[in-house]
Structures are given as structure tokens and as C-alpha cells.
Amino acid sequence: MTADAFIHLPDLRARVTHPEKSLLRLTPEMFSMWEQRARAAGWPVNWRLSDEEIEASRLAVLGDHPDGCDLWIFSYGSLMWDPGFHFAEVRLADVKNYQRRFTLKINLGRGSHDYPALMLSLEPQQGRCHGLAFRIAADAVHTETAILWRREMIRGGYAPAMVPMTTPQGPITALAFVSNPTHPSYVGELPLVKTAAIIASGKGVLGTNREYLVQLATQLEALGIEDPYVEQLHAQIGAGPAV
């Protein structure tokens, strides 16, 4: 990250994990470690997409990205506090006709077979989703997005797309990991009470689903972003220490 990456949001500097300290910076070496942990836990060989499938997915979206052009990444969940990639700038951003929703049921990461979890997706819905946009410098686009793709598309749960959005500094088009209703993990928007119950009990090797929701609510509040859906879920599970 450059010295002025937080020029628009100086207070955010202390609330974002440096990429080199992130366990979710999935370099080939880090990815290999997670692969070994998954296999040791009994996951089959095909628990994730192959390296070739992940890279083909990335190139299908970014293969024509012009040389010399930076790339914006829209973040609405854990990327807001732990992006795992190097960036040159971060801004507040919002995208029209999308909302963050817990619509992916998972049994790895912050979930497990016995205690499944729900993870966020970006759902086409009326309104706006407010989050952050990180700018990756042109010379680092393919290196950093390869790292990001291993994290976000490890099982193909999203439909990455370039989406127009607004920022206080002007309009941009950013890569967003949009929902993929055809994926087996997709369960759609569940009733709020059921969503909260799953989040309250979900846990896995990365921690609890509850911790994730608390981190999300905390980061949104610190950024001055109001999200009634997240606020209601946070209230449902209570604001005490994560379990």
C-alpha cells in the first residue's frame, strides 16, 4: 500500500489489516497451506475448484483488462477490513440496485459440517449497497487479482462482474463479487430470525460466523454506513462477546 492510500479515509488505516499480515492473502504458498488443512480435515480432492478453473474464471472477467489501467474492487463484507491484496487508494463507494445479504450457506471457513454458516453476497435488489472501493495499481492488477480470486472464487460461489458505482470523488466502475443463484451453496434470503440463528451457531477454522457479523457491523458503524439489514441481525444476536 502506498503512503497515501488512505488519503480520503485516514481513520480507516488502523481498521484495515495490512495485506502482508493477512491470513487471507492467498498467495500460492498460503493457498497450499489451506489446501493441506482442508485435506487433513477430511475434505475430498474436489472440495474446491481446480487452479485451472479458478484462473479461467478470473481471465473470463479480467483477461481483456487494458494494460496500464488500474482496477477498482468493490468490498461489502470482509474485504472492508481484511482485503488481502495491495491497493493504492480506498474510497467510500455505493452501488445502485444491489444490497448485501447473507445468502450463501457454507461449511468451511467460518462454518463446518456440524455448524454451517452464512456468508454475504451482493444481491440485485432495490436500493443501494454502501461499502468501500479499493484501487489496485495497473502494474499489480493481475498479480493481486489472482490472489483475490483464490479467496473469493475458491468454490465458484459468486458471479464476478464489472459494475458502475459512485464515490465522493467521482464515478467509477469496479469489480464486484455478485451473487450466483445457480451455485449449490446459494440459499437466497432467509427469514431474519433464521438467518440470525444460523449466524449465531456457525463456526469453523476461521472463527465464528457471529464474529464475522460483529466485525461487519463494527466496520459499517465506523465508516458511518447505515445498513438496516445488518443492524437488525446484529441486534438479533446481541452485541456481547463472540462465542
pLDDT at 59 over 60: yes
Mean pLDDT throughout 111-119? 93
Mean pLDDT throughout 33-43? 80
Mean pLDDT throughout 38-52? 83
pLDDT at 2 over 70: no
Q: How many CB atoms lie within 10 A of CB 131?
A: 26
pLDDT at 129 over 70: yes
Residue 213: Cβ-neighbour burial (10 angstroms; 0-12, 13-18, 19+): buried
pLDDT at 54 over 80: yes
- DSSP element (H, E) containing 162: strand 158-165
The partner residues of 89 in beta bridges, in order of sequence, read: 135
In this prediction, residue 3 has a pLDDT band, given cuts at 50, 70 and 90, of: low
Phi/psi-derived region of residue 188, left when phi > 0, alpha when psi is between -120 and 50, beta in every other case: left
CB 216 within 8 A of CB 79: no
pLDDT score for 240: 47
Residue 98: Cβ-neighbour burial (10 angstroms; 0-12, 13-18, 19+): buried
The least confident of 18-27, 126-135, 172-181 is 18-27
Mean pLDDT throughout 206-220? 95
pLDDT at 242 over 80: no
pLDDT at 37 over 90: no
Q: What is the pLDDT of residues 131-169, one digit of tens each?
A: 999 999 999 999 999 999 999 999 999 999 999 999 999
Mean pLDDT throughout 71-99? 98
Rounded distance between C-alpha atoms, residue 82 and residue 199, angstroms: 20
Is 152 in the active site? yes
Q: Domain 10-237 belongs to what topology?
A: Hypothetical upf0131 protein ytfp (3.10.490)
> What is the chain's mean pLDDT, rounded?
93
pLDDT at 8 over 80: yes
Point out the catalytic residue in the list 144, 152, 189, 231.
152
Mean pLDDT throughout 175-199? 97
